[in-house]
Amino acid sequence: MKELVKIVLIPAYEPDGSLIQVLKELEERGFVRVVVDDGSSAKCQTVFDEVSGHAVLLRHEVNKGKGEALKTGMRYIAEHFPEDSIVVTADADGQHTVPDIERITLGVGETPDALVLGSRKMEGKVPLRSRFGNAITRLVFRLSTGTAVYDTQTGLRGFLADQIPDLLEIPGSRYEYEMNMLLTRAREKKEIREIDIRTVYLNDNASSHFDTVKDSWRVYKEILRFSASSLVGFAVDYILFCLLSLLTGQVLVSNIAARVCSASVNYTLNRRMVFAEKAPVARSLPRYAALAVVILACNTLILKLLTMLGVTAWLAKLATEMLLFTVSFLAQKKLVFTGEVRHENA
């Protein structure tokens, strides 16, 4: 039986000597090593001089971000190795052990069509920002896709090289690229498999180059934009509902009129700002209109039930909108603004 080529791709920015030891271990275990220097400073030159003796070394003259470093390495692999090669991406800070890299490699061999993730269970001494950040990102991803992935932030990932052309099409230059990879897989109904690995944080994760503000925005921006759009739509809806119900005394009529107006605002904002939809309006608008009718029917039914139970109209309206927020997001993402022709630069 043919033995598959095993390749480890490591994007490196300002690495220390721990990278060398990992490369030596990988070399001993028969892995091809590809390291991308993502514009590191001159002080790291001695490290990369030694790296070049144990790996293929690719360089960016300036820092372009983790996403671009991964893409540079994948392009090299696609050009120089067979499509059935197993590719594992790992971080340069020593937090991914060689035994865990081997486990992901075996996982790809078992499920060649999947994207295989090394999933940390956040056990033991984990920095608070890492534990909190992973929990938030896990929730955001679940809300965005309806797919459960425990460790969305892991950099230890495996796949066959024949997936590289599709992975190169995914937008993102920095840390958001890895989230976009998961979002794309989930949206396209492609398998994501998780394999448990050790949770390793060295020196309270001091080697991380993740910018809490900038990189968090890149990762979370889609759900945050949707929340902002929904908040604007809700404000229009709620204000009109309150005014119309005061003027007419008709709760259901006021609700329908307010929803029609707010839906127009919500559609425009979501199409342009949230999902960056490039497809013609004629494709997405009928879908949105159909969804809006369903949401309106559910909204009206829940509102009527709550008011019949004695809840005041204004409070019932607030509770109903909160309940339908997630339903609306998932439905728009999966059915209306599907991203079929979207290529947004991050």
Single out the residue of 34, 101, 107 nearest to residue 72, CA to CA.
34
Q: Are 176 and 153 in contact (CB under 8 A)?
A: no
DSSP state of 201: -
Strand order through the sheet with 192-197:
56-60, 32-38, 6-12, 86-89, 157-160, 115-120, 192-197
Dump the DSSP string for 238-266: HHHHHHHHHHH--HHHHHHHHHHHHHHHH
Q: What span, in angstroms and rounded, lies between the C-alpha atoms of 108 and 102?
A: 10
What is the chain's mean pLDDT, rounded?
80
CATH class label, 6-210: alpha beta
Q: What span, in angstroms and rounded, lies between the C-alpha atoms of 288 and 140?
A: 22
- 79-129: per-residue pLDDT in tens? 999 999 999 999 988 788 999 999 999 999 999 999 999 998 755 555 545
Pairing type for strands 192-197 and 115-120 reads parallel
30-34, 136-140, 248-252, 308-312, range with the lowest pLDDT:
136-140
How confident is the model at residue 284, as a pLDDT? Answer: 65
Helices (H), 81-210: 98-110, 128-145, 164-168, 176-187
- 29-52: per-residue pLDDT in tens? 999 999 999 999 999 999 999 999
pTM above 0.85, yes or no: no
Output the six-digit token pair for 246: 């005061």
Residue found under tokens 């997405």:
284
Q: Where in the chain is the domain with CATH 3.90.550.10?
A: 6-210
- 137-174: per-residue pLDDT in tens? 777 777 667 788 888 889 999 999 999 999 999 988 88
